[in-house]
Structure 1
Amino acid sequence: MTDAQGGPALQPTLSEWFKARDETGRHLAAAGGPVDEDWVQRLADLLATERSWQDQYTDLLALGRAGGQFPSSNR
């Protein structure tokens, strides 16, 4: 998918990343104690999905940079 200037379309990936973050947040908000193994597995799956979308988003952003690398954090 491309944007109006012919580059990669970031919005679909960004939207999915936000959706994954919201789903993770809802899962955490619904936690009661003590949590069971199924809950922990679901959280692990949600966090892996969120990380995957974040990686895809940063890879798309890096396409427009010299060397194709996303900059490292200053923090």
Structure 2
Amino acid sequence: MSEKEAGPSLEPTLNEWLKAREETRAHLTTAPPPGSGWAQRLADLLATEESWQTQYTELLGRDTPDHRFPRSNR
């Protein structure tokens, strides 16, 4: 089965999630200029980061008995 048939692979997904986290961190080190799109950019970065995190955890869960990443106890 090819990677395309198997779906996304774990390593590239993790790399993209970590890249998105770094982009968010870098943005947070800049001061928000008045009247700018700073907050919108932050919202977009956080949404991207969340999307990669969701995809990564779904991939981790696919090999579990119920095919889901475990719920947190927190």
Q: What runs of 5+ residues in structure 2 fail to find an aligned partner?
A: none
Q: What runs of 5+ residues in structure 1 fail to find an aligned partner?
A: none
Q: Percent identity?
A: 57
Q: Distance in 1 between matches of 2:9 and 2:26?
A: 27
Please say if 1:49 is aligned against 2:48: yes
| AA at the equivalent of 1:65 | T
> Runs (4+) of structure 1 moved beyond 2 Å?
34-37
SS at match of 2:37: helix
Structure 2 partner of 1:31: 31
Structure 2 partner of 1:65: 64
SS at match of 1:68: coil
| AA at the equivalent of 1:67 | D
Query: RMSD of the alignment, in Å?
Result: 2.0
